[in-house]
Each structure stands twice: as structure tokens, then as C-alpha cells.
Amino acid sequence: MPTAAEPTGVTDPAVLAERYGLSKSSIRPPLGSYLRELWSRRQFVLSYATARTYAMYAGARLGSIWQVLTPLLNAAVYYLAFGVLLGTKNGIDNYVAFLLSGIFVFTFTQRCMTEGSRSLALNLSLIRTLHFPRATLPLAYVLNELNQMLVSLAILFVVVGFTDGPQWRWFLIAPAMVLQMMFNIGITLVFARIGTFVSDITQLLPFVTRTWLYASGIFFSLPYKLEQLHAPSWVVQVLAFNPISAYIDIVRRSLLEEHKRNQLPHAWTIAIVWSFVMLAAGFWYFWRAEDRYGRG
Amino acid sequence: MAVADSGAEPTVIADKLDIIYKVIAGQGGKGTAATALRRILKRQDRPTIREVHAVKSVSFTAYKGDAIGVIGRNGSGKSTMLRAIAGLLPPAAGAVYTGGQPSLLGVNAAMMNDLTGDRNVVLGCLAMGMSPAEVQSRYDEIVDFSGIGDFIDLPMSTYSTGMAARLKFAIASAKTHDILLVDEALATGDAEFRIRSERKIKELRDQAGTVFLVSHSLEVVQETCNRALWLDAGVLKLDGPVEDVIQAYLKSTRS
């Protein structure tokens, strides 16, 4: 401590502030200490996610049964449209498992994006009341979706186990989920920031995700489909760079024996690179605006 | 500007603080999707967005143990200034320096409405950085202080404004803050709660914290504060001992 007690007459406010260790009130902490602070609030993230899951179904008569029903109904609609009406099975034997894995993996990321983009706007009052690292809110939303994803995966295992019986390959799903989770945290943080400052994004996102849905090879096998269309081989190479396609591909490799002939090139490498890049970019991008959330 | 360093330890220094915020003023301009997209990409504001200069070049220094009442007419920038001190509104020019993290208590800041009161207590405490064990040990004290009673098991959306304000004050004051900013939060509480919260504010002052209190009740300001700031249309009109400032303020409203 400098000799603070001595009255020194007249001083510049900034100098005076520094002498007594005051800092600007709206300043964002360095990234390192921000991440440490975030880690110290992990209990808050967990409790908030639990409370939100509970509140989400509290009003419904069927309660948390909807966690199982929603993905099933979703899959049923797509099965009806693509499997039965349009007949896109394309010689995939276990089309139900093929379709479900695609939809569940895609929905995981899609819901993270759309829900995450509103995670700060919906909690403005909390943000304006208490001080805490704002990234905790989008993180809690991702945790919510992970919970839903695990329920969906359980359904998937029942479906595949019913037809093929349990396999050692299944354990490949664990690293795939970790990678997708990292990617989702990153992309959710990005859209949480965008959604706060450009609220129009919540109107726009459904169209973006729907386009992404059709480009991700969920209803049909991408290599198979493109071969039918006599597309040049580089098209598959380009489409394989889609992170969602990569995650779906890994999950299908682990669940479906027959997927071997249709798998995308370099899925693991692409998945790993996307995960790490997106996670780092997400945290960095979100943190850059930390001092501006909650204003307006 | 230069300020006198009297030797007392300052906790909040506002240095020529200017706050400008944007409001959407009705309809207008071309509303087509193409122009909207162009605005988003170019990061332009909507043509109907108007800038409000809410606080104009306000400077003051608050010291440890100060309880400062902020008075002025509606829309004179009182709440805006508190939010700037709390670090929730970045200043357009000038700066606010604070020691420690200020905590803002506002009346319109509901917490998580669809969750029960007791969930809000736990989440609020965790968000402020308490450990689960700490929350456990503080829980009863917080609920007792709020005086919510059996309603603690009900969702906060069923609470009256006053009850919500009580619970929020109880949660926020569970942690010792160096700087507590109270924005009309006590106005909706009943007489009994007002007395309790005033005692809490005095307690905070004694712990050498600094309290800012925005209130239209001059009586409350006079009782709890030793100093007052009078804001008029964003300009700091008077800063001094609470009696003097209130006298001058009353004089101007009567004339």
C-alpha cells in the first residue's frame, strides 16, 4: 500500500483511483482469470441447468416423459416423410437407426444454437441483479441439451440393440459425444453473443439450421446419394467438412456395421479439429463482449 | 477535473461520467428485409433508434462508510447512474472507478420467475460465487430475513412485487458487499421490512462499505444516508450533507 493516509491536496481522479486500488467498473477481466472464475461457478451452472430442466416440464401433464416423447415424435415424423413417403432408404438396412442417429446428433447442436442465442436475453433480469461470469448461462443451456441428448441416445441404443444386439463398437460414441459437446459449447457461446446484440438472429436461425439439416446427410447417405447423382468426387470431400456430418458419421460407424461402405472421408480428423477450434473460438468471442452484456 | 484527496479512503470515483443509451422510438424508416439485413451487416442502428443522453458529466467521490442518497425527479438519470456504477452500463465518456464489485438491487429486476423462491435463493447465492456448503449454512438466515415464510416453496411468479423485492434484497445482502446500490428496492416492502432493511444498510455502512440509495421517499433518504446527490436532467446539481441537499431540492420543487 502506498502512503494513502497523507492528504496530498488536489489529485486527478484517475491517479486517486489508482492510489487506492480502484478499477474501472465496467472492465472485462483477462481471459485467464475469466475462465478461472467460470470454473468456480460450476455449481451454479449445474444447479441452474437442473432447475431449468425441471421448470421446462413442470407445467406439462406428462412431465418429464416429454424428454422421451419429443425425440421419438420428431423421428416418427421424419421417418414418415423420408422413409415411407419419399422412399429415401437407399438400400440402408437399418434405416430407423440410421435416421435416428442423424436426427438426434443434429438436434443436439441445433437446439444448443437456437436456445443458446436467447440464453442471455431471457435472463436479463438476473444479469442486471447479480454479478457472475455471463458465460455460465449459455453453458447451463448446453448442459440442458446434453441431458436431452443422453435420453435420446438411450432410445437409440434400445433400437439398435433390438436389431443387432450390443456391440463393443458402441463405446466409440463416448469420444464422439465429448467432441460434439466441445463443438456445441463453442457454437452456443458464439450465438449467445450474437443473439444478445442482434436479436433478429432468433428469427433467422430456424432457416439457417434447416438448410444445415438438409446438407448434413441425415435422411440419406451422402456418398451414396452423390454417386447416384453422378456428382464429382470433390463434392463429397467438401461436404465432409461439415462438422455435424462428421459427428453423425462417427456415431453411425459405431452403431451400424453396414455404414462402413458409406462412411465419409477423414471424419475423425475433421471432428477433432472442429471441436477444438470451435471451443476456443467460442470462449474467446464470448469473452470479448463480457462487459457489454446486460446493457440497454 | 481534479478532486481533493482528503485522506479518507474512496470507494467509488465518478470522473466526468457521461452515459448515452439507445432507445427504439416507434416505427419508421423502410422496413424491408433487404434493408434490415444491410443494416445488420453494416452494424448500423435502425433509423428510428434515438440516443438519450441520460447522465451528463457527473463527478463525485464516495468514501468508505458513506451512505449516499440519490434524489431527483423521475427520469433524471438516477437509476442509469447506479447501473453505470455497477458496471452494467458502459459510460460513453468519462469513467467510474470502484473498489470491489458493486452489487445492484433494483425493484424491477425479478430473478428466475418460473422457479420457486428457495431455488432462487440457492441459485442466486451460487451465482454470487458462494460454495454449496456456504449456501446451506446461509439459507435459513436469508429466508428468515426475507420474511417470505411458507411462500418460499412457490414459484416467484406468484409473489407480489413487495415479496419479490424482499427476497431479492435478502439474497443480495447475504454476501457482504463493499458497495451496495439500492434502487427503490425498499419502496415496495411493508413498514416492517423497511425497518429491517434500513438496519441492514446501517450494518453495511458500519462494516465500512458504501451504500447508494435511490429513493423518492426523502424520509428514507434522510434516515439512512449521511450524504445526498441531487440529479436534475442528468446533471449533478448538488452534492453535500443530506440535510442541505434535501432542503435545496424541496425548495426547487415548491417554487
Nearest to A44 among B85, B97, B127 (CB): B127
Closest residue in A to B165 (Cα–Cα): A129
Q: Do A296 and B95 touch (CB under 8 A)?
A: no
> Residue type at B133?
A
Spell out which residues of chain B touch residue A128, defining contact as CB-CB under 8 Å: 83, 88, 104, 106, 109
Three-state DSSP class for residue B156: helix
Task: Identify the DSSP state of B116.
Answer: B
pLDDT at A260: 75
User: Collapsing DSSP states into helix, strand and coil, what is residue B194?
Assistant: helix
Q: Do the beta carbons of residue A90 and residue B154 sit within 8 Å? A: no
- Predicted pLDDT of residue B2: 44
B39-69 tens-digit pLDDT: 777 776 666 667 788 888 888 988 888 889 9
**Å between A278 CA and nearest CA of chain B:** 22
Name the amino acid, one letter, at A102.
G
Q: Determine whether the interchain pair A128/B59 forms a contact, defined as Cβ–Cβ distance below 8 Å.
A: no
- B163, pLDDT greater than 90: no
How confident is the model over A30-58, as a mean pLDDT? 88
One-letter amino acid at A71 equals P
In this structure, of B24-28, B164-168, B187-191, the range with the lowest mean pLDDT score is B24-28
The C-alpha atoms of residue A142 and residue B146 are separated, in whole angstroms, by: 33
C-alpha distance from B40 to closest chain A C-alpha (Å): 7
pLDDT score of B118 = 86
pLDDT digit string (tens) for B215-249?
A: 888 888 888 888 999 998 888 998 999 999 999 99
CB contact (8 A) between residue B114 and residue A55: yes
CA distance B111 to B169: 11
Helix or strand or coil: residue B243?
helix
Alpha-carbon distance of B220 to B217, in angstroms, equals 5
A4·B3 Cβ contact <8 A:
no
Question: Cβ–Cβ of A7/B5 closer than 8 Å?
Answer: yes
Determine, for residues B112 and A6 on separate chains, whether the beta-carbon distance falls below 8 Å: no
3-state helix/strand/coil string of chain A: CCCCCCCCEEECHHHHHHHCCCEECCCCCCHHHHHHHHHHCHHHHHHHHHHHHHHHHHCCCCHHHHHHHHHHHHHHHHHHHHHHHCCCCCCCCCHHHHHHHHHHHHHHHHHHHHHHCCCCHHHHHHHHHCCCCCCHHHHHHHHHHHHHHHHHHHHHHHHHHHHHCCCHHHHHHHHHHHHHHHHHHHHHHHHHHHHHHCCCHHHHHHHHHHHHHHHCCCCCCHHHHHHHCCCCHHHHHHHCCCHHHHHHHHHHHHHCHHHHHHCCCCHHHHHHHHHHHHHHHHHHHHHHCHHHCCCC
Rg of chain A, C-alpha, whole Å: 23
pLDDT tens for each residue of B1-13: 445 555 678 888 8
User: From the candidates A8, A18, A23, A25, which should be mutated to test the interface with B, based on the most B CB atoms within 10 A?
Assistant: A25
pLDDT range class, residue A246, cuts 50, 70, 90: very high
Look up the pTM and report it: 0.80
Closest-CA distance, A292 to chain B, in angstroms, reads 7
Write down the pLDDT at residue A284.
96
What letter represents residue A83's amino acid?
G
pLDDT, tens digit (0-9, with 9 covering 90-100), for B168-210: 888 877 777 778 888 776 666 677 877 887 787 777 777 768 8
Nearest to B92 by CA among B179, B44, B43, B22: B22
What average pLDDT does range B141-150 have in this prediction? 86
Q: CB distance A125–B111 less than 8 Å?
A: yes
Which site among A122, A124, A130 would you substitute to test the B interface, given the most B Cβ atoms closer than 10 Å to its Cβ? A130
What pLDDT sits at residue B45? 63
Question: For A162-167, what is the mean pLDDT?
Answer: 77
Instruction: Look at residue A2 in the predicted model and tell me its pLDDT.
Output: 43
How confident is the model over A176-201, as a mean pLDDT?
Answer: 92
pLDDT of residue B186: 64
Whether residue B127 and residue A198 make contact (CB cut-off 8 A), yes or no, is no
A290: nearest CA partner in chain B: B88
| Exposure on the CB side of residue A237, measured as CA atoms within 13 A | 3
**How near does any CA of chain A get to the CA of B194, in Å?**
20
Domain of A200 in residue numbering reads as 30-292
> Do residues A285 and A193 lie in contact, with contact meaning Cβ atoms separated by under 8 Å?
yes
Among chain B residues, CA nearest to A122? B112
Q: How far away is chain B from the Cα of A54, in angstroms, using its nearest Cα?
A: 9
Task: Give the whole-angstrom CA distance, residue A246 versus residue A239.
Answer: 10
ipTM score above 0.90: no
* Closest in B87, B110, B127 to A130, CB measured: B127
pLDDT mean over A176-182: 95
- pLDDT above 90 as % of chain B: 8
Do β-strands B227-232 and B67-71 pair in parallel, antiparallel, or remain unpaired? parallel
pLDDT in the model for residue A295: 60
Confidence grade of residue A286 (pLDDT, cut at 50, 70, 90) = very high
Q: Which of B66, B69, B65 is nearest to B246 (CA)?
A: B69
Evaluate if residue A1 carries a pLDDT over 60: no
Structure-model confidence comparison of residues A253 and A18, the more confident one? A253
pLDDT band at A5 (very low <50, low <70, confident <90, very high): very low
Spatial distance between the Cα atoms of B147 and A157, rounded to a whole number of angstroms:
50
Per-residue confidence (pLDDT) for residue B30, from 0 to 100: 55
B126 contacts A129? CB cut-off 8 A = no
CATH superfamily assigned to domain B10-42+49-254: P-loop containing nucleotide triphosphate hydrolases (3.40.50.300)
Q: Nearest residue of A to residue B104 by CA position?
A: A129
How far is B158 from chain A, CA to nearest CA, in Å?
14
User: What does the pLDDT read at residue A18?
Assistant: 78
Residues 6 or more apart in contact with residue A222 via CB below 8 angstroms: A236, A239, A240, A245, A262, A264
Q: What span, in angstroms and rounded, lies between the C-alpha atoms of A38 and A120? A: 16
In the prediction, which pLDDT does A149 show?
Answer: 93
- What burial letters (b/e) apply to B38-69, b meaning 16+ CB within 10 Å? ebeeeeeebeeeeeeebbbebbbbbbbbbbbb
pLDDT tens across B89-136, in order? 778 888 888 887 777 776 555 567 778 888 888 888 888 888 899 999
Mean pLDDT computed over every residue of chain A: 84
Residue A24 lies in a domain: no
Residues linked to residue B50 through DSSP beta bridges, in sequence order = B23
Q: Cβ separation of B106 and A291 shorter than 8 Å?
A: no
Contact between chains at A25 and B126 (C-beta distance less than 8 A):
no
Q: Give how far B242 is from chain A: nearest CA, Å.
A: 23
**For chain B, which residues make up each domain, given as ranges?**
10-42+49-254
* Residue contacts between A and B (CB atoms, under 8 Å): 150
Residue in A56, A129, A295 to test binding to B, most B beta-carbons within 10 Å:
A129
Amino acid at A112: C
Q: How far apart are CA B100 and CA B62, in angstroms?
A: 13
Residues A122-137: what's their mean pLDDT? Answer: 82
In a domain, A14, yes or no: no
Tally the domains of chain A: 1
